[in-house]
Amino acid sequence: MTKLLRLAGLAVILVVSLLFAVFVGDQGPWYFAWVIGTVMIILISGAGAIMLDAQSSLSSDGEI
């Protein structure tokens, strides 16, 4: 039941995101670009930190 609810929640987010993308992407392309761009910046920045964790665990030279 919990999984089903979670799936339904994700489906709702997906639909809202698609509607948002269609409307804002059409009316305000730069607002849409801001949303997508900000998410991308956060993800790449976070991935860089996780990569540093991996680099540190694979190496013992202590360099940063």
Distance, in Å, from the CA atom of 9 to the CA atom of 19, rounded to the nearest integer, reads 15
In the complex, minimum distance from the CB of residue 28 to other proteins, in angstroms, rounded to a whole number: 5
Q: 7, 12, 14, 28: which one contacts other proteins (CB under 8 A)?
A: 28
- Residue (18 or 36) nearer to other proteins, CB: 36
Q: Nearest distance from residue 64's CB to other proteins, in Å?
A: 4
Q: Does 49 bind other proteins (CB under 8 A)?
A: yes
Signed CA dihedral, 54, 57, 58, 61: sign only = positive
Stretch that binds other proteins, among 1-9, 12-20, 27-35 (CB under 8 A): 27-35
Distance CA 64, CA 49 (A): 12
CA atoms 53, 55, 58, 61: torsion sign:
negative
